[in-house]
Structure formats: C-alpha cells, structure tokens
Chain A
C-alpha cells in the first residue's frame, strides 16, 4: 500500500518533468531565436522593409490604441453590467441565469468568430473599415465576459454591513453605488481590468480582419494598425527569415504579460489580507 503511494509519487514527478520540458523549450528557443534582435532601437524604431528591418515602435503604439479602445468600451459596459447583476438582479432568478448564459457563450465563442462578426458589422456595416477602432471594439466584445465576472465578484465581496448601514441612513441608490460600493470594490475591479488587458494582449485572430496588418504608425483611430500578436504571426509565417523578429516581439509581449500577472498577484494578496474596510 505504501509502496503504491510511493510509486505514484515518483510517477507524478516524471509527468511533471514531461510537461516542464516543452515549457522550458519554449522559453529557451524563443529567447535564443530572438534576443539578438532585442535592443532599445528595436523598441524605439518603426519597422522597415515589411518588418524585416527596424523595430516595433509603431506596433506598440497600435497595440496601445487598440487596448485603450477595448478598455474604453469594455470597462464601463462591463462594470455597468456587473452592477446590474449585483444590484438589480436577485440571485437565482431567470434574468440572472439568462445573462449568465449569454456571458458563458460569449466567453466560449472562438476568437475567429468574433473576427468575422467584427469584420462584417464593424468594418463593413458601420463603415469603420480596417481600423484600430474596429479592432478595439471587436476585442472589447471578447473581454467583456471576463471583465463582467471579475467586477461582479468584486462587487459581491463588499460586506453586507455597508449596504445595511447605507440603507438605514437613507442613502440613494446612486449615492450608494458611486460613493461607497464601487470605491470599496475598486481593487477587485482593477484586477478585472488587468486580467482583461492580459487577455486582450494575447488575442490575434479577432484582429486579423478588424484592425488589419498595416505596419505604419496610425494617424487616427480610423487607420489600420498591426498589433504585436499579429506581428508575431506575420513574421513567423509570411516573411522569410522573419523568425528572429517574431521571437523578439514574442519576448516583448511575454514580458508585458508576466509583468501583468505579477501585478495581479501583488494586488490580490494584500486585498485578501486586509481589504475589509
């Protein structure tokens, strides 16, 4: 019996190593392929010769814009929806389940389908064309479920005692929400925003037919622009000898994501320890 457990312990360790190997390989190979290209110049220069020379400055700008537009839509709508769920919908009701269903489906929908929808509706029907605007809005649809769920969790975590006190004092709904509820839940909501940023940075397929591929610095939100993730794809698949730059861009992207991950952990830990105001 004890032997069985000991065998299992050893076996599991082997499995862990088996899984660790590709991950380690991933880190090494990408660093190996790309680190030569990494330099301050890489980060500060615009790409030249279809990306085979120069850097990724304009791409970072485009990515930044797409992110900003995405958040500009997803955060208010997401927060509003989360507030609706936590304040105006009784738990277990039909409305809650219906909305939960909608969010679950949206969360499970493939990225490419969002791309199709974004292309047809935003680019063509609304006339935005291939643009940062189309890309940002399409991306916001994708991160909406994540934003809503995180914000809802944060809102529901605010202690009931606050709510009871506010009601007893005759505070208006608006006052309660804007002066007490949302500020109390702010750290959790911030975590939701950061999670959404992480998700948004990682997305590619949805941007292929909305934000497009253009390498130049965008002059306005109606211009097309290429996100970092799309650049990795293009350099790896469509540009001969582009693997180095693809890898270098990947390093930049992954670094950003790790920083985000660390920030989230940093925010979650203290709020769990002493965040009960």
Chain B
C-alpha cells in the first residue's frame, strides 16, 4: 500500500482581514503518524487546519501565507481545490452528516466525484467497516443519518471523509461534542487509522493527546495572535518540555 505523505508547514500565517489568527506556524507530521495540535481556544488551531485544505478560500477576506507541502510538493501548486480536498480529508467538531440516508451520506460524495455506481456501494461498505459502523448499521442503511447517536454520527462523518480515499486527515476536535463513551469509540477509531493516513488532530484535551499522538505541537496566544511554541515527540513534550509555556500547559499531564 502506498505510504501516506509527510505534511510540513513552514512559516504559515492565516489572517482574517487585518487580524492574524495564527502566525509563524512551522511543524512536520511524519508519514502515517498522528500529530496532536494542542493549546487553549483562540490560538488559531482550527484556522490552521482550514488553511491546509483551503477551506479558507471560502471565507471572504481570509488569506494564508507560507508554505505547506505534502511529501515535499507545495500545496500552492496544486491544480485545484477539489483534488486537494480529495487527498486531504477533514472531520469537524460538530458531527454534520447530511440530511440523507446513512448510505447516501457516503454514496453522494462518491457520485459527485464520478465514481461509477457499482463501485459506490463497495466503497461505502469499506468506509463503514473502517470506522466500525458496519455491524451497527448495515441493516438500516436507508434510514436517515440523523437518527444515529452523536458518536455514531461522528464516525459516519469520518467514514464520509474516508470514502474518498484521502491520504491525509485533518481532525478538528473530533470528540469534543461527544459523551465519554462515544468519545472513546472515536479515539479507538483514530488509533486504528495510524499508519494508513497522516493525521493532524486539533484537541484541547491533553489526556487524549497523550493517549493518541505520536507527535505534539503546542500552540499559544501571544499579542492576540496564535503561534507555535514547541513541537516534538509526545513523551518529550509532556515530560521534558523545553519551553516554559509547554511545561506550564502540560503540567497536569506530567507524572
């Protein structure tokens, strides 16, 4: 199987008009690894994610600067946003399945991307299996996705992102809107995706970062603008943080 790409950010800025959400963001996510992006709210972590898959293009007045590369090739030279978003999938904080049936939530994006009808059901089933939903929903695929529980909806949204066979996954606080049990199920799912996808996950739950991440990047707010304070391996960040902010922020998680 093809190795997922490395994702590297170099001096990335995201601005909304005059206001900079985050500046000088640089870090690297190795192939197949899970990188947790942690920090208090307001330090621009979600904006950074939106900058990677160019969701920022849809916000008027929003600009990005800096270099983002996948396996060394800059995203700025990508032909169009559509193919970029096929390669880089995103899951949002609030589960947001379409008001369609469970099956159609997966088949609709496939149809839109030109996948022939025969293949759609296969790939939908595969995606549902990857997220562990197949057993739970295979006999009610025609029911509305909105009848699923919050945790199931979120896993469906992940399946929806996976069904397009991306190589990179951007997860924006995927568990924060879920109860602990559902959250655990989604965490297990994310864990199982390691190695097959390069994953960048925003979370403000340090314990979760400690459980799941291979690498951690710590963000902070400085002068009303987000910035990257430190980036490194999980254990190193949590036990031997070099930056005072890192040490203070991760204090609760250290042994």
A interface list, Cβ under 8 A from B? 1-2
Contact = CB atoms under 8 A, between A and B. Distances in A.
A2 B80 CA distance: 9
Q: How large is the interface on B (under 10, 10 to 19, 20 to 34, 35 or more residues)?
A: under 10
Please give me the 3 A-B residue pairs with the lowest Cβ-Cβ distance, nearest first: A2-B82, A1-B112, A1-B82
Contacts of A2: 80, 82
Interface in B110-163: 112-114
Interface of B: 80, 82, 112-114
Contacts of A1: 82, 112-114
A1 B80 CA distance: 12
Q: Say whether chain B's binding surface is mostly helix, strand, loop, or mixed.
A: loop
A249 B45 CA distance: 62
Contacts of B112: 1
A137 B82 CA distance: 61
A1 B85 CA distance: 13
B163 to A, nearest CB: 16
B155 to A, nearest CB: 26
Nearest to B80: A2
Nearest to A5: B82
6 contacts: A1-B82, A1-B112, A1-B113, A1-B114, A2-B80, A2-B82
Contacts of B80: 2
B178 to A, nearest CB: 32
Nearest to A2: B82
A1 B108 CA distance: 13
Contacts of B113: 1
Nearest to A4: B112
A131 B238 CA distance: 88
A2 B112 CA distance: 10
A5 to B, nearest CB: 10
A97 B218 CA distance: 55
A191 to B, nearest CB: 29
A230 B112 CA distance: 55
A1 B113 CA distance: 7
A1 B114 CA distance: 8
A1 B111 CA distance: 10
Contacts of B114: 1
Nearest to B113: A1
A28 B113 CA distance: 47
Nearest to B112: A1
A2 B86 CA distance: 13
A178 B112 CA distance: 60
B110 to A, nearest CB: 12
